[in-house]
Structure 1
Amino acid sequence: MKFKKLTTIGAALLVTLSLAACGNNNDKKSSQESATKVTATSNNESSTHKSSSKSHHKQVASHTYHAVKQRNNTILKKMIYDTNHESAGPTGNYYYVIGKAKDSGFADLKRGEYHFTSDSQGRSSTARAVLTYSEYQSSKGSRQGDPLAPPSWPSDNPEVAIHYSLTGRTYHGYLYNRSHSIGDSLLGTKSYTSQYNFTTGTRPQNVGANQGGGMRYAEETAENYWENNPGTSSTIEYETLPLYKGTETIPRGSIVNIKSSDGAINTSIAVINSVEGIKINYDTGSSNAKPITHMRPQMHHHKSSTSYGYGNRDTRHKNQSTRHSPNNQTGHSTTKQGQWTVAGAGMVFVSDSNKFYSEVTNPGNYQYMSESKAQTSGATRAARGNQYARP
Structure 2
Amino acid sequence: MSEVEFIGATKRYDDGTLALDSLDLRIEEGEFLVLLGPSGCGKSTALRLLAGLEDITGGEVRIGGGKVNDLPPGARGIGMVFQSYALYPHMTVRENLSFGLRRSRSRDRVSEAEIASRVDEATDMLDLHNVLDKKPRELSGGQQQRVAIGRALVRRPKVLLMDEPLSNLDAKLRNRMRYELRRLHELHETTTLYVTHDQVEAMTLADRIAIIADGRLQQHAKPLDAYHRPANSFVASFLGTPAMNLIEGVAKNGVFTAGGLSFTLPEHLAEWKGPGIYGVRPEDVRIREGGEVPCVVGGIERLGSNAIYHLETSGHWIRVLQHRSDSGTEPPDRAEQGKLAVTLAVPSALIFRD
TM over 0.5: no
Structure 2 length normalisation: TM-score? 0.23
Question: Which of the pair has more CA radius of gyration?
Answer: 1
Structure 1 length normalisation: TM-score? 0.21
Higher helix proportion: 1
Higher strand proportion: 2
